[in-house]
Structure 1
């Protein structure tokens, strides 16, 4: 039985390294350059994991030996059984994260492939609110805020992808009687964001900044 050890953002790193290596193989003839790119692709992948067993490392490092598009596709497909999904969560658990919202609209959890989810999010169009649920240190954190389309492209805080953005503002309690707002530009479309995110640092920093 395969033991999952690859989180979604790490799998995205692997995909990006595979894409870059394939592109290099198609466009570069210099063998020394190719060997350098092969080495860097494997190194970048291994560095994305704080801990790996010897077998896991050997499995991931296979990328440096591939030649064809079929090789890379088989490699990526072969890693899917090792994907560590977003922790199981129920509708009731989500509702408890947003106790003030009695009419909370939640997406159909059964329709989501949680293997490819770093953070769970959805937009309530009726209220122009964005909801985010993120697992952190064994518990779920939920934040909500107003989402305002910008109709302009820029770099998303979470995935660093150049995409159409929205401004996400979250109201926070500055003191006993005072409130302030923290805002950032994020992707309008969270599915693509989850498919592109390669580092959870900015996401976690933002979530913790509005939850303190």
Structure 2
């Protein structure tokens, strides 16, 4: 079987598996625990609308599990089917940000790309943040101002964490716009991109933001 699970989907599976584990270890009513398990299996299947029967059978093994050890083994058994984030060289990353001189980009070859939904990093010296994502099958990059804020809710992973306001200038100009036309879009995002990647479960907000800025 080929790889077919993306990082955000794996995070969703982990969350649902954790709910099943919690129900079977803390709920005395077996009917309630079974209801949680059925709901978890349904949520996982819904996240894979194009999955084959073989893939759904693999994902659906959670329906027969309940103990911590069984669920841990289940999650490990899924890791070989995780898709890799594209391996971009520093030169390829630089092409996504042609106006940025001396771009300091991460070494994607040195990280476990199975657990990346997007690559994000900051340049503290310039107060800029950079995001790279595989949008519609092609790598795309966003650059914006990085303004640290107090704790808040990240628009990507929906956790209450240390966040920053990420403001990116729109690449789209209306017809007959003046040369000075300027529009920026901002969102609060986790200051720690690695932690954000470990918890993001839905790519809809990320893709919507990229399309909003890039057009």
Q: TM (normalized to structure 1)? A: 0.95
- Aligned partner of 2:159 in structure 1 is 161
- Aligned partner of 1:66 in structure 2 is 65
1:197 correspondence with 2:196 = no
- Post-superposition shift, 1:176? 4.9
Residues 147 and 168 in structure 1, CA contact (< 8 A), matched pair in contact too: yes
1:78-93, aligned counterparts within 5 Å? Answer: 78-93=77-92
- Aligned partner of 1:32 in structure 2 is 31
Residues 170 and 185 in structure 2, CA contact (< 8 A), matched pair in contact too: yes
Where in structure 1 do 4 or more consecutive aligned residues deviate above 6 Å? Answer: none
- Post-superposition shift, 1:16? 0.2
Root-mean-square deviation over aligned CA pairs: 1.1
Residues 154 and 161 in structure 2, CA contact (< 8 A), matched pair in contact too: yes
SS state of the match for residue 196, structure 1? coil
- Aligned partner of 1:147 in structure 2 is 146
Deviations 1:127-180 (A, max 9, x none): 111000111122111110011111x22211111111111111112254451112
- Post-superposition shift, 1:81? 0.3
- Is the alpha carbon distance of 1:88 and 1:108 closer, same or farther for their aligned partners in structure 2, counting shifts above 3 Å? closer
Tell me, in whole angstroms, the C-alpha distance in 2 between the residues paired with 1:22 and 1:162: 23
Tell me, in whole angstroms, the C-alpha distance in 2 between the residues paired with 1:110 and 1:84: 15
Tell me, in whole angstroms, the C-alpha distance in 2 between the residues paired with 1:172 and 1:38: 44
SS state of the match for residue 179, structure 1? coil
SS state of the match for residue 170, structure 2? strand
1:180-195, aligned counterparts within 5 Å? Answer: 180-195=183-198
Residues 38 and 65 in structure 1, CA contact (< 8 A), matched pair in contact too: no
Tell me, in whole angstroms, the C-alpha distance in 2 between the residues paired with 1:141 and 1:127: 21
Deviations 1:79-116 (A, max 9, x none): 00000111232222111111111210111222211100
Residues 134 and 141 in structure 1, CA contact (< 8 A), matched pair in contact too: yes
Residues 163 and 190 in structure 2, CA contact (< 8 A), matched pair in contact too: yes
1:109 correspondence with 2:108 = yes
- Aligned partner of 1:13 in structure 2 is 12
5+ residue gaps, structure 2, are none
Residues 87 and 108 in structure 2, CA contact (< 8 A), matched pair in contact too: no
How many pairs does the alignment contain? 210
